[in-house]
Amino acid sequence: EVKDAVELCKRAGIRVVMVTGDHKLTAVAVAKELKLLHEDDIEGKALTGEELERMSDEELNKIVENVVVYARVSPEHKMRIVKAWKTKGYVVAMTGDGVNDAPALKLADIGVAMGITGTEVTKEASDMVLTDDNFASIVKAVKEGREIYDNIKKYLTYLLRCNIMEILVMFIVMVAVPYLASSSPYEPSSAIALTAIQILWVNLTTDGLPAIALGVDPGDPDLMERKPRNPNESVFTRDVKIYLTAVPILMTVLLLIGYFMHQPWLGGYNLTEARTQLLTAMILMELVNAISARSLRYPIFKVGVFKNKFLWVAILSSLGLQLLVLYTPALQPLFDVNAPELTDWAIAILFTVIIFSALEIGKYIASRRKKA
């Protein structure tokens, strides 16, 4: 299990270094077994505490990235090794179980103590405690941490791009309707794209269950094959900024087309039908946005369309609630909607397909460029 964990660390861009008080020959033998060292590539990659003692900090800094095994080291040596890695700009995690490991654990960015064999002093000095004393648990924790960070980005991207779209639609309609209809009779209330209860309904059906379901998404297939990100990197990366700009604008344009098609002063039907069209199309668009948001890097078909069952339960529940509002006579006056005609459904579905296709094609092109 440890060998597999070490291999996974390599793929994830995590350097594994063995620091032990054992004899050098023993340490090298274990390192070979774990594939940390190879038979034909040992020269300069294993040091003893005695050799380390003769080195200055500057000399250690020069070679620290090449050394994989340290044997017969003292607590002071461990601290020097941690300092050298941190000087190189790495985020350092260190494991330990004895009292003599406590200073180095305290110095490391992440000190990890053994829960079974570790002393109380070691546990007190550490940031984490391994309850099973298993190195593989650290790797699992890294994977879970990456999933959580990715899911935060998905959650924020999904909610922000949908809410930005809602703000744009409301603002543009409020400004444009009085100007466009100034020469024709129109209802002043048509300058309000959605009523207060409709806005609350959109947020309830799309910002609730689907957003929560994104928070437990299993993540991209290459999650543990990416290099570690910069700790100072913003959640709002370049890709996220593009999503928060282009997608809301495209959704806004499509929704406004549908809304204005129903305005009575443009030869449409009436305000209730305009709002019904807008409300339905908006909810459908936001729900497919949730599906696409499962990965900000790859098309949904690569990460598995039905892998997040919670999301599909959330989407179907939200869709069912919307249908209930549209086709229940007692609820129609409350939400200021009516049963959409087939043409209204066709328009809403067409706009939804356009948005979903644009999102997926954009991710496909971006992933191809990164590979190139």
Structural domain ending residue among the three candidates 122, 139, 156: 139
Which one, of 203, 224, 173, lies nearest residue 9 by Cα? Answer: 224
Structural domain ending residue among the three candidates 123, 139, 155: 139
307-312 own/partner pairs: CB under 8 Å, 24+ apart = 307/218, 308/213, 308/214, 308/216, 308/217, 308/218, 310/212, 310/213, 310/216, 311/210, 311/213, 311/214, 311/217
| Residue 155 and residue 134 in one domain | no
**Number of C-beta neighbours around residue 133 at 10 A:** 15
Per cent of the chain over pLDDT 70 is 94
Structural domain ending residue among the three candidates 83, 112, 139: 139
| Residue 67 and residue 167 in one domain | no
| Residue 359 and residue 299 in one domain | yes
Task: State the Cα angle at 364 between 359 and 365, rounded to 5°.
Answer: 100
| Residue 99 and residue 29 in one domain | yes
In which domain, by residue range, is 124 found? 2-139
Q: Tell me, what CATH number does 99's domain have? A: 3.40.50.1000
Number of domain units in the chain: 2
| Residue 354 and residue 213 in one domain | yes
| Residue 335 and residue 238 in one domain | yes
| Residue 166 and residue 76 in one domain | no
| Residue 135 and residue 238 in one domain | no
User: HSE on the CB side for 347, CA within 13 Å?
Assistant: 23
| Residue 100 and residue 166 in one domain | no
Average pLDDT over residues 86-98: 92
Q: Tell me, what CATH number does 159's domain have? A: 1.20.1110.10
Q: What's the pTM?
A: 0.84
C-beta of residue 191 within 8 angstroms of C-beta of residue 174: yes
For residue 191, pLDDT beyond 80: no
Per cent of the chain over pLDDT 90 is 64
**pLDDT band at 177, cuts 50/70/90?**
confident
| Residue 173 and residue 121 in one domain | no
For residue 107, pLDDT beyond 60: yes
Q: Which two tokens stand for residue 260?
A: 């204005």
pLDDT for position 39:
75
| Residue 157 and residue 111 in one domain | no
* 344 phi-psi bin (left φ>0, alpha ψ -120 to 50, beta other): alpha
C-beta of residue 262 within 8 angstroms of C-beta of residue 281: no
| Residue 205 and residue 240 in one domain | yes
